[in-house]
Amino acid sequence: MNTHQPARISRQGRGQAMVEFLIIIPVLIMLIFGAFQATLIYSAKSGLNYATFQAARLGAVNSAQYEGMRRGLLRGMYPMFSQFPEKDRMDKTAEEVDNFVLITRISPALNSFSAWQTPHEGLLSIGTTAQAIPNDNLMYRSQQQNPVSIQDANLLKIRVQYCVKLIVPMVENLLSTASKFNQRQSGGSFSEVSKRTSDQYTAICGQRKGFVLTAEATVRMQSAAVHDAENCGAGKKMLCP
């Protein structure tokens, strides 16, 4: 009778368990770290949703101008940085909004301004005249689609994209790459799409390893919308298609 066989089986079992443990532990660590980072991203997304609505509200009463939307974002994103001392919190919020946020004014679009704008006085400052989409007596105005009705042209719809910083080791590279992939645009060859993807991600995040969050809000204009030519356009503070 071989008395050494149970000992060999026991050693083989321990060796197999060690190999399985070494295989599973990196995956388990990644799952734990990933869950923690996902919680932070979810919290930031909730804050961004609220901030985007605040930006749309202030934009609606300030002629759809970037500065009004920026004030709304500052107000809405301020609670997201409660870990900073109160005296530094607003400066941190402004730094994030000015460097890692992209606003897109989806509506009113440029063709709506071309179709419906008329001269209005005193919209941006006393004594000035601007080309604006009328906001009064909408129920009595023409229902013509040109390309949209003037009622629809008085809907302010914005999209806010925010590059939230990834702070958890090991998953930051994976999630930032995934975020860059999600910013791709359809059409063109693979290399063309890849370049547009990289350019769009870089425009929002710069050199930050981040994850791009997106929120949208739609409100009815409470003032006549004026095209913000100073802040609209590629490379500027707001996109206005």
Task: Give the model confidence (pLDDT) of 36-47 as tens digits.
Answer: 898 999 999 999
Beta bridge partners of 211: 164
Alpha-carbon gap, residue 194 to 189, rounded angstroms: 9
Task: Give pLDDT tens digits for 129-177.
Answer: 567 888 888 777 777 887 888 888 899 999 999 999 998 887 777 778 7
Looking at 104-118, 163-177, 185-199, 201-215, which range is the least confident one?
185-199
Helices 5-60 and 66-77: crossing angle in degrees, nearest 10, is 140
Beta bridge partners of 172: none
Look up the pTM and report it: 0.81
Largest Cα span, the chain: 108
pLDDT band for position 186 (50/70/90)?
Answer: very low
Alpha-carbon gap, residue 183 to 204, rounded angstroms: 10
Task: Give pLDDT tens digits for 61-94.
Answer: 999 999 999 999 999 999 999 999 998 999 999 9
pLDDT band for position 30 (50/70/90)?
Answer: confident
Question: What six digits make up the tokens of 154?
Answer: 């008085």
CB 183 within 8 A of CB 69: no
Count helices and strands (H / E) in the chain.
7, 7
Portion of the chain with pLDDT greater than 90, in percent? 43
What's the pLDDT at 216?
94
What's the pLDDT at 189?
47
16: amino acid identity, one letter: Q
Highest averaged pLDDT of the listed ranges 104-108, 176-180, 231-235 = 104-108
146: amino acid identity, one letter: N
What's the pLDDT at 16?
67
